[in-house]
A and B are shown apart, each in its own frame.
Chain A
């Protein structure tokens, strides 16, 4: 098992954002979390890093209890996040952003890992010495994904990678998710508003509502489920 969350509760200020979350991700899986705005999807991802800290429950990553570890220690265990809103370092160049992703991996790997990212996103290669703040939204998203891959993570978390992007970029990003999993055996936890696309690439999925898991199942099951169809697929989010 790559990741197990058991009965996790978390608070954001006065909001009880997560109410007893049970989520499992197995090695080599793509798991997706779908749910409306404010259901707690991003909070769930951030709570893996202790930000906000789980107030109850347990998080086990790769056989180790990480519930109480400091944020940076958790990252060093091999979890990489592509956060909501991308959060590239705007006043650093593209290559510096990639170096930030590789801060704590072996320096000898840098050339090869950067080459892999550039092969995946050739536009980043062209913009190596450009400041990340001057890139378009789609390019920043690619950079954020590339940065996350530089540490050779065991588990990749993607938070709304398609948000606000042009359709051409959205297709490319889902394609990358599929390739990373199929060709590199990458384990991926994907949060998406774009439920239709997400369920199609995912092996399994969870539906999150008001901070709790309401439905769990395989991608196909959720796609076929009448509740999911009514709430997330035909309700205008598709």
Chain B
């Protein structure tokens, strides 16, 4: 029982990060109908930016952890959004109006490009940082197992919940959110009402990248190591989360991320840890076969 509770905490932490990345997939799919396969690598780039920041801060001898975290978060979000903007501008916008397959291939190219750039400039070896947040609270202590929630885990879960609530509110209640949704539903009509569609798409990419950047900082803090290949697996898992929740659905991406995180944790704890990735991809296959519109997605066919 105590062991299961620990897995629940671990799964929620993992799921929070997948959920944040999954939002980027689902929003971009919603607005331009493509899977941005470079999104996982945007996440990877953000983790490297975070590592660089932490290293700089350590060199500068900054000792206040909250201050350091805030600084890293702001800088990482800023630069990662710029990456998100640039990727759309360079790789996808020129292909608007081309066949659906073209931007998809461009996305895979972008993904390879980002991985290789980071590998060449940062090296192929894992980059560690000294632990930023240590310790935690012991929630429950039985005879043979102590359930612990780490401060970093708590921080990750709370930040994610706050961000998701705020983000959902922004999309459903602000003028920008309405414009964003109008572009999803009918781009031509949105332009006819004065919405700058290109700018809205750019902002969508930047927002997706910003959330991935938060996940990137979290991964750095939580695991303490990054390498140029983490974007691939994290990206595919977040993509699975978005599909499981219903691609195009914002709450779906959040729910999907959480479920994938939990499934992965419990699978690794009770079945075979070495096959935990298989679990995720098995789910992807099952969802695509049995319920392609996902848990909260709407069916493809729509009566207008």
Q: Do A and B actually bind? A: yes
- Residues A100 and B193 in contact, CB atoms below 8 Å apart: yes
Which positions 69-121 of chain A face chain B at CB distance < 8 Å? 70-72, 75-76, 81, 83, 87, 89-92, 96, 99-101, 103-104
Closest to A101 in B: B193
Q: How many residues of B contact A (CB 8 A)?
A: 20
Residues of B within 8 A of A19 (CB): none
Is B188's beta carbon under 8 Å from chain A? yes
A91-B181, A100-B178 are contacts. A76–B194 as well, Cβ < 8 Å? yes
Residues of A within 8 A of B181 (CB): 89, 91-92
The docked-state distance in angstroms from the alpha carbon of A87 to that of B197 is 16
- Residues A133 and B304 in contact, CB atoms below 8 Å apart: yes
Is A130's beta carbon under 8 Å from chain B? no
- Residues B304 and A103 in contact, CB atoms below 8 Å apart: no
The docked-state distance in angstroms from the alpha carbon of A104 to that of B61 is 49
Residues of A within 8 A of B192 (CB): 49, 71, 75, 81, 83
- C-beta contact mask, B177-219 vs A, less than 8 Å → 1, else 0? 0110110011011111111110000000000000000000000
Residues of A within 8 A of B189 (CB): 83, 87, 89
Residues of B within 8 A of A76 (CB): 194
- Residues A51 and B188 in contact, CB atoms below 8 Å apart: yes
- Residues B303 and A72 in contact, CB atoms below 8 Å apart: no
Partner among B182, B194, B197 whose Cβ is within 8 Å of the Cβ of A92 = B182
Residues of A within 8 A of B190 (CB): 100
**Closest beta carbon of chain A to B56's beta carbon, Å:** 41
Most buried by B among A72, A75, A83, A133: A72
Closest to B172 in A: A96
Is B65's beta carbon under 8 Å from chain A? no
Is B175's beta carbon under 8 Å from chain A? yes
Is A47's beta carbon under 8 Å from chain B? no
- Residues B302 and A72 in contact, CB atoms below 8 Å apart: no
Closest to B175 in A: A103
Q: How large is the interface on A (under 10, 10 to 19, 20 to 34, 35 or more residues)?
A: 20 to 34
The docked-state distance in angstroms from the alpha carbon of A72 to that of B186 is 14
- Residues B193 and A147 in contact, CB atoms below 8 Å apart: yes
The docked-state distance in angstroms from the alpha carbon of A72 to that of B185 is 16
Residues of B within 8 A of A147 (CB): 193
- Residues A103 and B185 in contact, CB atoms below 8 Å apart: no
- Listed by A's residue number, 17 A-B pairs whose Cβ atoms lie within 8 Å are A49-B191, A71-B192, A72-B195, A75-B191, A75-B193, A81-B192, A83-B189, A87-B186, A90-B185, A96-B178, A100-B178, A100-B179, A100-B182, A101-B193, A103-B175, A133-B303, A133-B304
Is A151's beta carbon under 8 Å from chain B? yes
The docked-state distance in angstroms from the alpha carbon of A178 to that of B27 is 43
Beyond A71-B192, A72-B196, A87-B189, list 20 extra A-B contacts (CB 8 Å): A70-B196, A72-B191, A72-B193, A72-B194, A72-B195, A75-B194, A87-B186, A87-B188, A89-B181, A89-B186, A91-B181, A91-B185, A92-B178, A92-B182, A92-B185, A100-B179, A103-B178, A103-B193, A133-B302, A151-B193
- C-beta contact mask, B36-56 vs A, less than 8 Å → 1, else 0? 000000000000000000000
- C-beta contact mask, B145-182 vs A, less than 8 Å → 1, else 0? 00000000000000000000000000000010011011
**Closest beta carbon of chain A to B179's beta carbon, Å:** 7
A83-B192, A92-B185, A133-B303 are contacts. A72–B197 as well, Cβ < 8 Å? yes
Residues of B within 8 A of A87 (CB): 186, 188-189
Closest to A96 in B: B178
The docked-state distance in angstroms from the alpha carbon of A99 to that of B185 is 15
Closest to A85 in B: B304
**Closest beta carbon of chain A to B141's beta carbon, Å:** 49
**Closest beta carbon of chain A to B144's beta carbon, Å:** 52
Residues of A within 8 A of B194 (CB): 72, 75-76, 103-104, 151
- C-beta contact mask, B288-304 vs A, less than 8 Å → 1, else 0? 00000000000000111
**Closest beta carbon of chain B to A236's beta carbon, Å:** 28
Residues of B within 8 A of A99 (CB): 175, 178
**Closest beta carbon of chain B to A216's beta carbon, Å:** 26
- Residues A89 and B185 in contact, CB atoms below 8 Å apart: yes
**Closest beta carbon of chain A to B296's beta carbon, Å:** 13
Residues of B within 8 A of A100 (CB): 178-179, 182, 190, 193, 195
- Residues A103 and B179 in contact, CB atoms below 8 Å apart: yes
